[in-house]
Structure 1
Amino acid sequence: MSWTLRPRGLRARLVVAFVLVTVAGATAAAWSSARSASTALVTSNQQRLTASTADQLAAITPELSYPPDQAALDRIRIAVGENTLVTFRGMQSADGAAGLVPGTLRTAVQEQRQMVAQRITAEGKPWLLIGTPIMTTAVNGSRTPSGIEVYSVRDLTAVEQEIDSLTRTAVATSALALLPAVFLALLAARSVLRPVRDLRDTARRLADGDLSARTAPQGADELAALTDTVNEMAASLQDSMVTMQRMQSDARRFAADVSHELRTPLSTLTAVVEVLAGTTAGMEPDARESAELAVTETERLVRLVEDLMEVSRFDAGTAGLRLEETNLADAVRDCLRARNWLDQVDLVAADNVVLRCDRRRLDVIVANLVGNAFRHGEPPVLVRISVTQEEAAVEVTDNGPGLSEMVLPHVFDRFYKADAARTRTPGSGLGLAIALENARLHSGDLTASNNAHGGARFTLLLPRGLEKL
């Protein structure tokens, strides 16, 4: 199992980033100040100690005789202080930590002929080593080494403690900056995220269908520019939707009006065609073929007008249900019998599946599904009725080629043709769309898929919430 410490959400990221930058800045400033103060402290102590050593030597050197004896070397050592080493050729006078003086320092003093300072850490303590030659001044003012070398070892523990105190102060300063940084970060995040939150609320209202939602821009920064862009997008979307809705409304009204106006002439035409259909037996072959074609096309036109009127009722929201207690198996059987399909369809039905539904609309759904299986599939066609605690299902399957991946998403679209070359079919192109609308009118659903062994499968689901046993 992997864990991530990355903060989630824009607010958290802004707060963390602000706090990190603030604390990092405070820490860098505190450490820089502490480092500068430490360097200055060490330098000032080094200068003080070297100056003190020089003053002490300046006070005693006029009293010395050259060449010095052992007693003179001891006087010099005592005058400089403890932890001092004084050498002259093969003689020396030393005490305390004078043994810490390295050969490199003695070599540097001899070569440079001036005071040399060096910081070391020995025996767990910091030390300052000061080495200097004692010079003699001739009558002509020239200065030459006397051969006497003085090395003083000074303990810097007190200075180191002061540096540690400065470091602790820097850490405390960085820690104290954390709480104000968090508070300031929350304020900054709130001011930055308020426009973002307003835009989120506007986007949610737009997604919920409120196309009048807008956000008032604040200021003149990038977020204000983004707000203006979102408002322009919303206005453009609202105009487009209004135009589209008007066009859809016009199209629906046109289809409904045309369908309604066609009913009367189609009724007359249907009566004439029925008479014509009864007289085709005595016609010449060419005339009989034309008459039969006229009958077929008139029947197709009547079905198309009826389907268009049904669709217009769904679009207008005026389609209603006439619920009655219905045995699902008997209703499906009656639908097949009315169309002479009973001997061509295998019906497998659960016993005693009684629902309250609109029997006429159920008949339309089943007729469309079985008719579609006959037109576009291959026998055998199977209708299976099953029931669960939540819903009843009517499944219609065939043994044809099934539905392609390109057709499957559009199978319930109005006037959709899977084969563009097949422009003339017995149906209106609205059957499956009407079947789906009828299923939804029952608070159910209608789905399309393929069988594992081939063939299309349509499944009507009716919720048992409408059931009355």
Structure 2
Amino acid sequence: MTRRFRPGGLRARLLVAFVLVTVLGAAAAAWSSAGSASSALVTSTQQRITGTITGQIQAITPELTYPPIQSTLDRLRAAVGTNAVVTFQDLRSAEGTDLVTDELRTAVRTQNRLVTQRITVNGTPWLLVGTPIMITALDGVRTPSGIEVYSMHDLTDVEQQIDGLTRSAAVTAAWALPLALLLALVAAGSVLRPVRRLRDTARRLAAGDLDARSSPRGADELAELTVTINEMAESVQASMAAMQRMQADAKRFAADVSHELRTPLSTLTAVAEVLATTADRMEPDARESARLAITETHRLVRLVEDLMEVSRFDAGTAHLRIEDVHVANAVRDCLRARSWADRVELVAPDDIQLRLDRRRLDVIVANLVGNALRHGEPPVRVSVSASREQVSIEVTDHGPGLPEHVLAHVFDRFYKADSARTRTPGSGLGLAIARENARLHGGDLTAGNAPGGGARFVLRLPRTPQDPLVSVYQG
């Protein structure tokens, strides 16, 4: 599997951090080394020059006469070398470049010792050396003779060597970059490999593979995290297994109960029909009780029928009985059979035909329209439209609509938005059964609110049923 490099990912952050630390450390070390070497080079050069000048002056000093004359100053300048100036009060040696600064002269005269100064003239670095000539008396006392020697030395070669050291430091830092990147890749791989294993395990768990586990390696924090995730997966797996057992038991119980109730309900239905024919001849109290019994018996029959239908969906035994259906006529027949034709507005083209299960379409439309009539406000409208891929049936009303907290549960089994409506004729399974029937056709049923107010349910059915459990009905 190809791993994508994400700029904001943990791998990228580790690489960037490692490379930055390594490169900055290498650069700092290289620059520090270059700075130390440069400082040592300048100091060494300065010591060598001042040592040479001191030796030259000490060699010729015994031959000098005091006070000096012009020729004495010239001899001293010649002994020190070119680019030197020797002064005594108003006298000055002939020739020689004079770059001496007033600051250096003042320091030599006030401190009576050798003084150095580095300056740059027209881009050229110079080292200026100034020293007084001292007279030593017989008692060892040293006094200034008034003669001052100044020597100027070009430091271009030294600057070139320093530039070379700087370039070497830059090259060293540059070479550290690929090495740091390589080391970062190796380090990031060793750190992120267990993280990727945990990620893959988490993805498998999220996809439903509750047997997914990661093997802990080592004894670090990632190993502890792996153990924790494995324990969490085992706990979730045990909880899901228990939940599945309870769901299976509940579904089996509902199927068994609804099946066992069919025979006594048939008897009760027969009794209710007898009561219905004789209720008008009963006493008022007995007649009211008989009608209540008839109503509750019919409600119980519908509930058992809905439970049996739900159990067929759960068991996967529900199938379609496909036939060619004229959609507008099917919807119109559904409304007419329940005496809703004068209460519901139908907008449907007459040329839409679809291959579907007519009985299941009737169940869907009856549930949607009945729900709109019971809980919405008129006018209730059923609109049928079609495209090349699907047919849509939309049921809307002009009531208060569906609250946000109801939309998430409107298709849940036995869900009723108003707890005070526990004795309404509905079983709480109608919308759930309607959506199961829609999905059995390969379509779907969605709920929402119309832009102008009121609830809005949309049934979408494909042109061709997609469920494999299909039987073809020949009319």
TM-score class, shorter: over 0.9
Indicate conservation of the 8 Å contact 1:385/1:393, yes or no. Answer: yes
- Shift of the alpha carbon at 1:417? 1.4
Paired position in structure 1 for 2:80: 80
Indicate conservation of the 8 Å contact 1:23/1:181, yes or no. Answer: yes
- Shift of the alpha carbon at 1:294? 0.7
Give the letter for the 2:210 counterpart.
L
Give the letter for the 2:323 counterpart.
E
Distance in 2 between residues matched to 1:236 and 1:153, nearest whole Å: 86
Q: What is the correspondence of 1:50-449 to structure 2 with a 5 Å cutoff?
A: 50-93=50-93, 95-98=95-98, 100-449=99-448
Give the letter for the 2:340 counterpart.
W
Structure 1: 4+ residue segments shifted above 6 A: none
Give the letter for the 1:310 counterpart.
E
- Shift of the alpha carbon at 1:388? 0.8
- Shift of the alpha carbon at 1:27? 0.8
Give the letter for the 1:55 counterpart.
G
Distance in 2 between residues matched to 1:333 and 1:422, nearest whole Å: 29
- Shift of the alpha carbon at 1:133? 0.7
Distance in 1 between residues matched to 2:379 and 2:67, nearest whole Å: 133
Paired position in structure 1 for 2:28: 28
Residues 96 and 71 of structure 1, relative CA distance in 2, 3 Å threshold: closer
Paired position in structure 2 for 1:3: none
Indicate conservation of the 8 Å contact 1:280/1:288, yes or no. Answer: yes
Task: Give me the CA root mean square deviation.
Answer: 1.5
Cα deviation digits, residues 134-192 of structure 1 (max 9, x gap): 11111111111111111111111100000000001111111111121121111112111
- Shift of the alpha carbon at 1:460? 0.5
Distance in 2 between residues matched to 1:239 and 1:440, nearest whole Å: 30
Indicate conservation of the 8 Å contact 2:50/2:129, yes or no. Answer: yes
- Shift of the alpha carbon at 1:94? 5.2
SS of 2:339's partner is: coil
Gapped regions of structure 2 (runs ≥ 5): 1-5, 467-471
SS of 2:456's partner is: strand
Distance in 2 between residues matched to 1:83 and 1:68, nearest whole Å: 21
Distance in 2 between residues matched to 1:266 and 1:97, nearest whole Å: 129
SS of 2:426's partner is: coil
Gapped regions of structure 1 (runs ≥ 5): 1-5
Give the letter for the 2:40 counterpart.
A
Indicate conservation of the 8 Å contact 1:83/1:94, yes or no. Answer: no
SS of 1:279's partner is: helix
SS of 2:32's partner is: helix
Paired position in structure 2 for 1:45: 45
Aligned pairs, how many? 462
- Shift of the alpha carbon at 1:437? 0.7
Cα deviation digits, residues 320-378 of structure 1 (max 9, x gap): 11212211112112212221222322211123211111111111101101111111112
Indicate conservation of the 8 Å contact 2:131/2:148, yes or no. Answer: yes
Indicate conservation of the 8 Å contact 2:325/2:354, yes or no. Answer: yes
Distance in 2 between residues matched to 1:112 and 1:236, nearest whole Å: 87
- Shift of the alpha carbon at 1:281? 0.7
Give the letter for the 1:56 counterpart.
Q
SS of 1:7's partner is: coil
Distance in 2 between residues matched to 1:96 and 1:443, nearest whole Å: 106
Give the letter for the 1:335 counterpart.
C
Cα deviation digits, residues 82-130 of structure 1 (max 9, x gap): 11111111111154432x1111111111111111111111121111111
- Shift of the alpha carbon at 1:16? 2.0
SS of 2:210's partner is: coil
SS of 1:177's partner is: helix
Indicate conservation of the 8 Å contact 1:350/1:387, yes or no. Answer: no
Indicate conservation of the 8 Å contact 1:277/1:291, yes or no. Answer: yes
SS of 2:464's partner is: helix
Give the letter for the 1:202 counterpart.
T
- Shift of the alpha carbon at 1:62? 0.8
Distance in 2 between residues matched to 1:288 and 1:334, nearest whole Å: 33
Distance in 2 between residues matched to 1:429 and 1:96, nearest whole Å: 115
Residues 86 and 262 of structure 1, relative CA distance in 2, 3 Å threshold: same
Indicate conservation of the 8 Å contact 1:132/1:151, yes or no. Answer: yes
Residues 51 and 251 of structure 1, relative CA distance in 2, 3 Å threshold: same
Indicate conservation of the 8 Å contact 2:22/2:176, yes or no. Answer: yes
Distance in 1 between residues matched to 2:178 and 2:452, nearest whole Å: 68
Residues 260 and 466 of structure 1, relative CA distance in 2, 3 Å threshold: closer
Give the letter for the 2:282 counterpart.
M
Indicate conservation of the 8 Å contact 1:116/1:131, yes or no. Answer: yes
- Shift of the alpha carbon at 1:13? 2.3
Indicate conservation of the 8 Å contact 1:82/1:95, yes or no. Answer: no
Cα deviation digits, residues 365-406 of structure 1 (max 9, x gap): 011011111111122221111001221011111222222222
